[in-house]
Structure 1
Amino acid sequence: MDFADAFVRGLLERMADQPPEALAGVTVFVNAASTRGALYRAFDRAGPLLLPQIRSITGVDPGPWSCRTRRCRPWRGGWNWRG
């Protein structure tokens, strides 16, 4: 059994006592697009069900921590973005 099949099997076992729509509220972060594709295929093999959100970490917005210039400075109420 490969990683994707084992992951899907474990997630479905963990969610067994939840209503079917609860799985749609789950977000899974993966490290590569190929892993995301493997998970989608594994969910397809598991049968008809609502899918969780499967996101690649390369597609996640890094937010204010990615700001490396002096133009964006933290302030008490949040981040001040200066163009």
Structure 2
Amino acid sequence: MPLNFRRFYTGHSDRLGTLGYRWSHSYDTRLTFADNNDVGVVFGAGGEEFFDGNSSWVFTRRTRGSSTNSSRTVTEHSRSGRS
């Protein structure tokens, strides 16, 4: 099985990744948590998937075009535990 490692540059981002500012890679997948139990999955290539959660930690995939509350706070966590 081949190992596929790709890097991506996102000029509009100020995020410091493992490859430096604005750089990510194909294994740079992370979760973002909102205050209302919603979760986002951000992939290294820049794609995102969002899930609506409830207090029982059951998540439903959000469909494209659904409205979200833009004033909520999202906290990003890495595997190392640093924000």
TM-score of Structure 1 vs Structure 2, range by shorter chain: under 0.3
Q: TM-score normalised to the size of structure 2?
A: 0.24
More helix per residue: 1
* TM-score, L = length of structure 1: 0.24
User: Highest Rg: 1 or 2?
Assistant: 1
- Relative to total residues, which structure has the larger strand share, 1 or 2? 2
